Chain A
Amino acid sequence: MHPLVWIAAAVLTTLACGAIARAGDGDSGSPWRIALTRLRDNHAAFAALCVIVALLIVAALAPWLAPYSPIAQPDIVRLKNLPPSLAHPFGTDFASRDVFSRALYGARVSLSVALLAIVVSASVGTAYGAIAGYVGGRIDTLMMRLIDAGLSVPRILLLIAVLALWAPVPLPVLVLLLGLTGWFGVSRVVRAQVLSLRERDMVVAARALGASDREILWRHILPNVLSPVIVSITLGIANVLIVEAGLSYLGVGVRPPSASWGNMILDGADEIASLWWISTFPGLAIVVTVMAFNLLGDGLRDALDPRQVDG
């Protein structure tokens, strides 16, 4: 299929987002609704949200949108290293593969790795932070010391060492490793929130009414922790995307022939002087995606902050 279809999909998604935004109305209503309204009024964050939705749709529809196969090597003599043209909008690489098609499939791999990894990070981080904050005392101190230790190891170096020692690592394990090295920030945020919630009147009241610890955690504390977690998940996705790209660029992340944006940059890195298109386009894809998640994260932080009374 032609790249025009992809552009059409993006435009359609953006229009759909706009329609949803106009449907919501009000400075009153539930806190979530107020947050949504605020997010809508933040143009940068809302545009970022549209970009993300469009990217997700493109990633999902990659097999139907890509004009060529991402791994087929039609003619490695005559079709290799072609500069961008109408037939190959992003050019072709050293193995005559279409860079545009690979970028579409790469979106699939890179986005799904990032999203799955963040699910791992967010669950582990929330559970760890909630327990530390709720139990408190010595155990809390010990748990936080472990976080300090985790944060003082540069993540990328640790991942390089682990991935090189266990090479080759299958994709699910890569996701798990990315997730298990990225939850420290989330757990700190959750712990701080739980510590302050623990002494609130509503929790004291619930305890006075005979609620168990589990009930208090699930029904009173965790729902209130949700908004900072949502913010750190959004910013965390941006971070994981960059980390995965870096690992794939070093050849220890997503392995060829699967296309990820990071290993596509690796494909063109040695020939950057003459074949600039091979590395440039996947890199731009990363920048656009990461920037969208960062903008959305910033917007969500402002939108979900209950201290800001008027949006």
Chain B
Amino acid sequence: MARLLLRRAIHGALIIWLVATATFFLLHLAPGDPIAASLDSPLTPPVVRTHYRHEYGLDQPLSVQYGRWLVMMAHGDFGFSFPHRRPVSSVIASALPNTLLLMGVALLLSFVAGIALGLIQARHRGRPLDWGLGLGSLFFYSMPDFWLALMLLFLFAFVWHVFPVTGMFDPVMYPYYGFWQRVGDRLWHLVLPACTLALLSAAAIARFQRAALLDVAGEDFVLTARAKGVSERGVWLHHVLRNALLPVITLFGLALPVLLGGSVFVEKVFSWPGMGLLTVEAIGTRDYPLLCAAVVIASVLVIGGSFVADALYAVVDPRVRLE
């Protein structure tokens, strides 16, 4: 198993290297200055431009720059963000926890809801309930994330005034709250964005889980369990569900890129101060180093996530360990 994990880790490292290389060429092939769009302006004096180009090593040969880029990436240094007037890594360090919180909650919610929905559908296979839930989850699965976010915002925040409009906490009252009130306020602000993300991936997970459950439900040991007189509930929970949970672990790895992409839109709609909102703002301010850092970091998260999923799979499924 250690060998398996080591092999996976080496693959992961190779992929990160490929992504870092690709972003390097992306930055350098694109028109304009790779450090900051503001330097492209004809109003910028040539002296300033040469100064910055020298300071960031842009006057050196491409191979030297590429080497420096890789060293920088390895140290978690993504260059300087001119619009923020801080290193990109510090800008991201303040936003990443917010995104991870949002994604973590959404991931948990979507797996619980998705597995439960899949189980209900599989138990009622072919009946109206299965059909209705299937169509319902396809409906959410077919929605653009930002549109769902906008609609939930419109209905729950503006029409019914149930949840707050945007942000992570109440901008006025927050400093006056006690500890538990603060926690409550934050959770209250988390509901809509997390549910938007969770609804979309729960729909995908439910579709997958239903198929996995029905695969297992046809196995001989399920028939044996029924023949032994195990209750219908016991058959589904202890025999079918337990065996159909394995493939869902793979989904964990696959759900990450979807959630990361979705968080860009959800954070924009709800003004959630995370990586996604930073990325969207970086389009407007043409903050190229930040955009590239977002691509690299998101890829690292995805690779890390699928590594964890592989490791979990190996722990849970003895057949993988024997390979």
A contact set with B: CB distance below 8 Å = 44, 145-146, 148-149, 151-158, 160-162, 164-167, 238, 242, 245-246, 249-252, 262, 265, 269, 272-273, 276, 279-280, 283, 286-287, 290-291, 294-295
Contacts and interface: CB of A to CB of B under 8 A. Distances in A.
B279 A160 contact: yes
Contacts of B26: 161-162, 165
Contacts of A156: 261, 264
B269 A153 contact: no
A283 B154 contact: no
A149 B153 CA distance: 36
Nearest to B283: A164
Contacts of A157: 260-261, 264, 279, 294-295, 298
A160 B146 contact: no
Contacts of B158: 272-273
A286 B30 CA distance: 32
B257 A164 contact: no
Given A152-B257, A161-B295, A250-B283, 8 more contacts: A146-B18, A154-B257, A157-B261, A160-B283, A265-B144, A272-B150, A283-B147, A294-B142
A287 B280 contact: no
Nearest to B14: A145
B11 interface: yes
Contacts of B240: none
Interface in B246-265: 257, 260-261, 264-265
Chain A facing B: main interface SS:
helix
B18 A165 contact: no
B11 A145 contact: yes
B14 A160 contact: no
A279 B267 CA distance: 18
A245 B135 CA distance: 22
A295 B15 CA distance: 34
A155 B19 contact: no
Given A145-B14, A152-B303, A154-B302, A249 B144 contact: yes
A153 B295 contact: yes
A155 B257 contact: yes
A158 B295 contact: yes
Contacts of A272: 150, 153-154, 158
Contacts of A265: 144, 146-147, 150
Contacts of A246: 144-146, 261, 264-265
A287 B299 contact: no
B27 A152 contact: no
A240 to B, nearest CB: 12
A154 B260 contact: yes
B292 A149 contact: no
Contacts of A252: 283
Given A152-B302, A165-B30, A265-B147, A160 B264 contact: yes
Given A152-B299, A246-B265, A286 B147 contact: yes
A297 to B, nearest CB: 11
B261 A154 contact: yes
Given A250-B268, A272-B158, A148 B150 contact: no
Contacts of B264: 156-157, 160, 246, 250
- Place the interface of chain B in its size category: 35 or more
28 contacts: A44-B135, A148-B11, A149-B14, A149-B18, A151-B257, A152-B19, A152-B257, A153-B19, A153-B22, A154-B261, A157-B261, A157-B279, A161-B23, A161-B26, A165-B26, A165-B288, A167-B286, A245-B147, A249-B265, A251-B283, A252-B283, A283-B151, A286-B144, A287-B143, A290-B144, A294-B138, A294-B141, A295-B138
A272 B268 CA distance: 14
A245 B19 contact: no
Nearest to B287: A164
Contacts of A158: 295
Contacts of B260: 154, 157
A165 B291 contact: yes
Interface string B269-291: 10000000001101100101001
Interface string B30-67: 11100000000000000000000000000000000000
A164 B295 CA distance: 13
A252 B145 CA distance: 17
A44 B62 CA distance: 56
B152 to A, nearest CB: 10
Nearest to A162: B26
B139 interface: yes
B81 interface: no
Contacts of B143: 283, 286-287, 290
A161 B294 contact: yes
B193 to A, nearest CB: 15
Contact of B280 (A145, A166, A250): A250
A161 B286 CA distance: 10
A262 B298 contact: no
Given A161-B292, A246-B265, A272-B153, A153 B282 contact: no
A84 B14 CA distance: 55
B300 to A, nearest CB: 9
B288 to A, nearest CB: 6
A287 B27 CA distance: 35
Contacts of A145: 11, 14-15
A250 B141 CA distance: 20
A250 B139 CA distance: 23
Contacts of A160: 264, 279-280, 283, 291
Please give me the 4 A-B residue pairs with the lowest Cβ-Cβ distance, nearest first. A165-B30, A283-B147, A156-B261, A291-B142
B298 A154 contact: yes
A212 B30 CA distance: 43
B306 interface: yes
A154 B150 contact: no
